[in-house]
Structure 1
Amino acid sequence: MTIHKEGRLLLAVMLLVLAAINIGLYFYVGSTTVVKLIGIASAIIFLLVLQFFRNPLIKISVQPNQVIAPADGKVVVIEETTEEEYLKDRRIQISIFMSPVNVHVNRTPVKGVVEFFKYHAGKYLVAWHPKSSTENERTTMVLKTENGVSVLVRQIAGAVARRIKWYVKEGDKLEHGAEFGFIKFGSRVDVFLPVGTKVLVKEGDKTLGGRTVLAEL
């Protein structure tokens, strides 16, 4: 288990600020009940933020035709829909909602080349809102597998998550489960698969990024 690079500076600054506040209160006010409670609250807040930026070391072990979960969370949508931005055809959409307690590393669901990538500024509707996938801040990435299958992955910011990070560009070759991005403080990731794909999860299932098999192409 390590701390993700997106959280290291924030955690260091937060630790210094909280330590300064508590040390200052101790010297100027003394060891009162209120000061002790502030110290406990500070520790709890720091630990909550710390757990959000945890980055577990995982072993990717999947078959080439398998589609793995791009994030930890819960499957909230499995439906056939039309992907309007790039693929412009009928697709099976699988959406995973990430709560603030989930690991927020985003991983590639398939091995392939980044055929398309685009960032969209947008709104901050709650992640489960029907229009969040088309109106919220988001990124769209399309991976083309060795067999020529295009798989679209979309990072979507939510009401709390207001910063999407990505580490890829068009033309990059990515392995199964490679880290391609991070969303801070809870949001959603959508995967769009060809119609006819064998889906192996159902709505309500919990997922582990890079480990849970969503489907087979």
Structure 2
Amino acid sequence: MLSYFPEFEAGITDPRSRAMLVRHVASMASGHEGETVDAAFRTDPAEPVRGFLLQPPQRDPGTVFAYNQPCTYTLGAIVQRVTGQTLTAYLRPRLLDPLGIGEALWQRDRTGRELGFSGLYAATDAVARLGQLYLDDGMWQGERLLPEGWVARASRAHTATAGAMGSGTGWTGTSATATSSGSPGTASGATGRTDSSASSCPGTTR
């Protein structure tokens, strides 16, 4: 994964940090046993990817899952660096427009990157459309937007879970509950494990 950030190569000396692959951060299996978001952003506020890579994992990458937001941030940073686009610009023709999702705003950090792990503002209808896409295995109105079987692969257990949820449980992501009244002008939200949350207000654009 360091090949995407060659400017950090000399300063990242921990062998486990250097061994991280894209698939490890994509599955939150960086080898860390817990959340590193505060440490990563505190270590290098100007470049949180570097701050994340300077947090030595307790285990080998790929051997343990732990909810860890800098993994998703780093994955988003790679996408933005490789494509030269923001996440929303990259997703617009591939996912958002085909789903009929209108304005979607993603919070940015001081680097100018869209966060990836948090801060996406969209209407309740957009969340429902993404949920339906998952329920239909990546199909939307007869068009395949995600590869066949991708949803099953993304939602199955891949690695054991570290920390309070217990080793060996096989969790690979967060669980969430959501509520929606469906009435114009009312808000809906979702909360997941640890500190993840989402909220939306129908009819608003900010």
| TM-score computed with the length of structure 2 as normaliser | 0.26
Q: Which has the higher helix share?
A: 2
Q: Which has the higher strand share?
A: 1
**Which of these two proteins has the greater Rg computed from alpha carbons?**
1
Which structure has the higher relative contact order (CA within 8 Å, separation 6+)?
1
| TM-score computed with the length of structure 1 as normaliser | 0.25
